[in-house]
């Protein structure tokens, strides 16, 4: 069996960013699907990488996944990786596993070691988009819990994203989380995402100020490349710390794991290198007694399914991400979308990724240019730096 075509389909799900799907044909009539991570204003560059890399995949045996990815890095990219490269490689790799699973009539998790669990816990995200008022967060959180989720994630800090912030930003975050905790009760897990924005002094202050609400985790308090900053926060934070969505491949995670700079990693199957690479990263973390919680700011179809298959075979898995605003799109383009029930997704049993894509519907929803954002000018900045304080 040989690969005859690699196609990139950029689609718009009706909310925020475009999604990037990868479709691979074979001379045996088997078609595989995958999904590359996308980011607003950069999705065209990622799609271009899928198309360029795909030219070198045509003519190869889809079973030779490891060699295809090695050639992509060593020879195609000449060992100069990037976000765009890793996203493209991830989408292609998922589609190859989909083909292999269909060819062998096996779900992917059976081909990567077999399942260690029958269901995958998920947390809700996307439910608080553009909210500012604490009461709005609380009412929305109540609806999320009423729909069956037992865990939800949010970024409690006001914008803009800056390294040094005033005390008022921390106070507002405390008010927001307190209001949510009061609304959902003590048993629902609240996950906090800081989006790599803070200096350690502010991150530590924020973690201490929020600890009384017993958050499940404190995600990406600092830039993920600054291992020392992450380690400083982990050492002082009463909340478990997380990083990984902006790290790519085993090499990107090596410094974090060696220094035990966090308690949990969250690599994304659509940008870390794919299913097998995610398994390698998780295994390395397992040896350091670090948990793995795959990131999934992707659709609720292909990338979610790839995540579920990897998580099923991952001993140190704890929870993964489900973006509620992409759910309607997933139901349109997928005949059997993965749907959480009481906060868990049951493992798909079909071959490959177990997802039946309606290609006609996918092609009817082409990507759209992302609207130009109003980014700050110097006069918009103002005095934002503040000294750390523990008085909240």
Tell whether 116 and 264 lie within a shared domain. yes
Strand 344-346 and strand 320-323: pairing?
unpaired
Q: Give the pLDDT confidence score for residue 392 in this predicted structure.
A: 40
CA 325 vs CA 56, 144, 184: distances in Å: 35, 12, 20
H/E segment holding residue 103: helix 83-104
pLDDT digits (tens, 9 = 90+) for 132-173: 999 999 999 999 999 999 999 999 999 889 999 999 999 999
Tell whether 74 and 138 lie within a shared domain. no
> Is residue 377 situated within a structural domain?
no
**Boundary-marking domain end, from 58, 82, 105:** 105
CA distance 314 to 197: 30
User: What does the DSSP assignment read for 250-306?
Assistant: HHHHHHHHHTT--SEE--BTTTSS-HHHHHHHHHHHHHTT-EE--B--S-TTHHHHH
> Is residue 131 situated within a structural domain?
yes
Q: Give the pLDDT confidence score for residue 380 in this predicted structure.
A: 84
**Boundary-marking domain end, from 57, 73, 105:** 105
Residues 113-141 have a mean pLDDT of 97
| CATH code, domain with 75 | 3.30.390.10
Tell whether 70 and 126 lie within a shared domain. no
Tell whether 188 and 287 lie within a shared domain. yes
Tell whether 37 and 138 lie within a shared domain. no
Query: Residue 300 pLDDT > 90, yes or no?
Result: yes
CA 71 vs CA 1, 29, 54, 80, 248: distances in Å: 19, 25, 12, 12, 17
Query: Residue 384 pLDDT > 90, yes or no?
Result: no
Domain that holds residue 343: 110-354
Q: Give the pLDDT confidence score for residue 382 in this predicted structure.
A: 66
pLDDT digits (tens, 9 = 90+) for 232-259: 999 999 999 999 999 999 999 999 999 9
What's the whole-model pTM score? 0.96
Rounded percentage of the chain residues whose pLDDT exceeds 90: 96
On whether the CB atoms of residues 41 and 101 are closer than 8 A, the answer is no
Q: Give the pLDDT confidence score for residue 97 in this predicted structure.
A: 99
Residues 350-372 have a mean pLDDT of 97
Rounded percentage of the chain residues whose pLDDT exceeds 70: 97
CA distance 307 to 296: 8
Tell whether 226 and 348 lie within a shared domain. yes
> Is residue 385 situated within a structural domain?
no
pLDDT digits (tens, 9 = 90+) for 35-61: 999 999 999 999 999 999 999 999 999
CA distance 112 to 107: 9
* DSSP letter assigned to residue 77: S
Q: Give the pLDDT confidence score for residue 231 in this predicted structure.
A: 98
Provide the domain count of the chain.
2
Q: Give the pLDDT confidence score for residue 366 in this predicted structure.
A: 98
Q: Give the pLDDT confidence score for residue 391 in this predicted structure.
A: 40
Q: Which residues are catalytic?
A: 195, 295
Q: Name the pLDDT band for 387 (thresholds 50, 70, 90).
A: low
pLDDT digits (tens, 9 = 90+) for 176-219: 999 999 999 999 999 999 999 999 999 999 999 999 999 999 99
Tell whether 17 and 119 lie within a shared domain. no
Residue 100 makes CB contacts below 8 A (sequence gap 6+) with 32, 62, 63, 65, 108, 111, 352
CA distance 95 to 73: 18
| CATH code, domain with 309 | 3.20.20.120
Lowest mean pLDDT among 27-31, 115-119, 279-283, 372-376: 372-376
């Amino acid at each position: 069996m040989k690969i005859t075509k690699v196609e990139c389909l950029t689609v718009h799900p009706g909310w925020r960013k475009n999604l990037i799907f990868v479709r691979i044909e074979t001379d045996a009539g088997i078609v595989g699907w995958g999904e590359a991570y996308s980011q607003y204003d950069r999705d065209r560059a990622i799609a271009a990488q899928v198309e360029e890399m795909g030219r070198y995949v045509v003519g190869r045996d889809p079973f030779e996944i490891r060699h295809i990815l090695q050639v992509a890095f060593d020879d195609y990219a000449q060992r100069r990786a990037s976000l765009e490269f890793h996203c493209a490689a991830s989408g292609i790799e998922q589609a190859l596993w989909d083909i292999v699973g269909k060819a062998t009539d096996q779900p992917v998790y059976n081909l990567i070691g077999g399942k260690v669990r029958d269901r995958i816990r998920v947390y809700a995200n996307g439910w608080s988009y553009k909210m500012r008022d604490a009461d709005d967060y609380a009412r929305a959180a109540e609806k999320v819990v009423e729909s069956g989720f037992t865990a939800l994630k949010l970024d409690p800090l006001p914008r803009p994203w800056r390294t040094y912030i005033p005390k008022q930003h921390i106070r507002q975050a405390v008010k927001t989380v307190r209001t949510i905790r009061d609304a959902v009760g003590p048993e629902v897990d609240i996950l906090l995402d800081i989006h790599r924005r803070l200096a350690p002094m502010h991150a530590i202050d924020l973690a201490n100020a929020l600890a009384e609400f017993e958050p499940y985790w404190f995600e990406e308090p600092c830039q993920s490349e600054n291992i020392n900053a992450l380690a400083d926060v982990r050492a002082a934070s009463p909340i478990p710390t997380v990083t990984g969505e902006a790290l790519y491949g085993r090499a990107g995670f090596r410094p974090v794991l060696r220094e035990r700079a966090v308690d949990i990693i969250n690599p994304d199957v659509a940008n870390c290198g794919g299913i097998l690479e995610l398994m390698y990263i998780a295994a390395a973390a397992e040896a350091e007694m670090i948990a793995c919680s795959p990131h999934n700011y992707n659709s609720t179809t292909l990338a979610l399914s790839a995540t579920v298959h990897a998580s099923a075979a991952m001993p140190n898995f704890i929870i993964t991400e489900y973006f509620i605003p992409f759910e309607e799109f997933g139901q349109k383009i997928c005949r059997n979308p993965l749907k959480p029930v009481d906060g868990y997704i049951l493992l798909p049993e079909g071959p490959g990724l177990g997802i039946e894509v309606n290609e006609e519907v996918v092609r009817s929803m082409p990507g759209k240019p992302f609207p130009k954002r109003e980014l700050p000018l110097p006069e918009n900045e103002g005095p934002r730096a503040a000294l750390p304080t523990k008085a909240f």
